[in-house]
Chains A and B, each alone.
Chain A
Amino acid sequence: GAVVSQHPSWVICKSGTSVKIECRSLDFQATTMFWYRQFPKQSLMLMATSNEGSKATYEQGVEKDKFLINHASLTLSTLTVTSAHPEDSSFYICSAMIGAYNEQFFGPGTRLTVL
């Protein structure tokens, strides 16, 4: 099946710093990628839809100025958490859509801990 990678797999940062997470589709091109967030013992929550060459679409309640998304190529989308705070600590997961039937392949996730 299609492979999606994320980098880094985990990151620890100080409060107030910015963190960039990369999501890559390794063996296919993806015009659409998605970013999710998952807090402990909770389900995944969609944050935004990332479309190659255009602005991301954010879900209600997600601050677009805090969570910057860039989808500069058909194989790479990046999520930058700006001025991170402890409440931003979470598991961030990306997915890439392939095919005509909404099949999505997910990355392994990035564990962000903000001290």
Chain B
Amino acid sequence: DAKTTQPPSMDCAEGRAANLPCNHSTISGNEYVYWYRQIHSQGPQYIIHGLKNNETNEMASLIITEDRKSSTLILPHATLRDTAVYYCIVVAGGTSYGKLTFGQGTILTVHP
């Protein structure tokens, strides 16, 4: 599976949009981009995923560049409860189906 690169930490003011970048320059055509987050001492939570089109759900939006080498997770109105570690994961199908390789992620701190 393609490796991902994320900034180790980011800050965001409450109520503002949080934009979390992820580089995945070696992504291949059948690999999806997934985002999960982990609040301290809890299990990770699924946020969103996409292949090449931009995606939006009730939690966030995912913007994938046209060349698919990078993506941005957008939390439109961050709250204090969004403080967590955010993981960008690229996953293929086939024999790797289902396996998630977690990197170090981005620690997002939302402050008042």
Contact = CB atoms under 8 A, between A and B. Distances in A.
A106 B45 contact: yes
A10 to B, nearest CB: 10
Nearest to B96: A102
A69 interface: no
A112 interface: no
B41 to A, nearest CB: 7
Contact of A102 (B38, B43, B87, B91): B91
A110 to B, nearest CB: 10
A31 to B, nearest CB: 10
A36 B89 CA distance: 15
A49 B98 contact: yes
B44 A93 contact: yes
A6 B43 CA distance: 10
Question: What is the predominant secondary structure among interface residues of chain B facing chain A?
Answer: loop
Interface string B71-91: 000000000000000010001
A91 B97 CA distance: 24
B111 interface: no
User: Which residue, B32, B38, B104, has most C-beta atoms of chain A within 10 A?
Assistant: B38
Interface string B2-29: 0000000000000000000000000000
A34 B44 contact: no
A58 interface: no
Contacts of B32: 101-102
B55 to A, nearest CB: 11
B49 interface: yes
The dominant DSSP class at the A interface is strand
A108 B42 contact: yes
A70 to B, nearest CB: 18
Given A91-B41, A109-B41, A104 B101 contact: no
Contacts of A107: 43
A76 interface: no
B49 A44 contact: no
Interface in A88-115: 91, 93, 95, 97, 101-109, 111
Given A43-B104, A107-B43, 4 more contacts: A44-B102, A46-B100, A101-B32, A104-B98
